[in-house]
Amino acid sequence: MRQEETALALYVAHRGELVKYANGIVGDRAQAEDVVQEAYIRFSAAGGEQRQRAPIVNPVGYLYRIVRNLAFDWVRRASAEATSPQSEQIERVANDAPTAEDVLFYRDELRVVAEALAELPERTRIAFNMVRLEGRTLQQVADRLGISVVRAHQLVREAVLHGSRKLDEQDG
């Protein structure tokens, strides 16, 4: 019983440092806690096996070695799981990047909208750009153009409708 108490006392005394050590390797505090607990289980089991053999000369160093080996095993296992074909398939499914077809489609739509905006009177273009591209308020547009807020809203609405009509014409 004396050897088990010694193993537990050693574990309790060094647990915080062991967790920091494991965390430095695995990069995850919760996983580091698990690694250290598993290390204690193996350490205490090794102490019982050592009764028949020579005693452990440096028990703290031995405990650190167990933590190190378990931590590196976890990193290797996590790395292997991250590079598995299944994870590559998941990455492709979750990818938000547009496809080449989408890029060409939206580029064409953007060209149509830009041409439509170029057809508009200057005040309408300015109002649209300020609200939709610069994120300004209708009050700021009204102040800049010297018009009412209602008129600023009408100008932005006219620009949006004109662009929408041009896109419909292209699709139709």
**Domain range annotation of the chain:** 2-92, 100-171
What confidence score (pLDDT) does residue 48 get?
58
Reported as a single tens digit per residue, the pLDDT across 38-70 is 888 888 887 655 555 667 788 888 889 999 999
Burial class of residue 4, CB neighbours in 10 A (0-12, 13-18, 19+): exposed
Does 171 score more than 80 pLDDT? no
Per the listing, tokens 């439509």 go with 116
What confidence score (pLDDT) does residue 1 get?
47
Reported as a single tens digit per residue, the pLDDT across 103-138 is 888 888 889 889 999 999 999 999 999 999 899 999
Q: In CATH, which of 1.10.287.130, 3.20.20.70, 3.90.640.10, 1.10.10.10 is domain 100-171?
A: 1.10.10.10
Q: How confident is the model at residue 152 (pLDDT cuts 50, 70, 90)?
A: very high
Higher-confidence position of 85 and 79: 79
Three-state SS at 116: helix
Number of Cα atoms under 13 Å in the Cβ half of residue 78: 11
DSSP 56: P
* Top CATH class, 2-92: mainly alpha
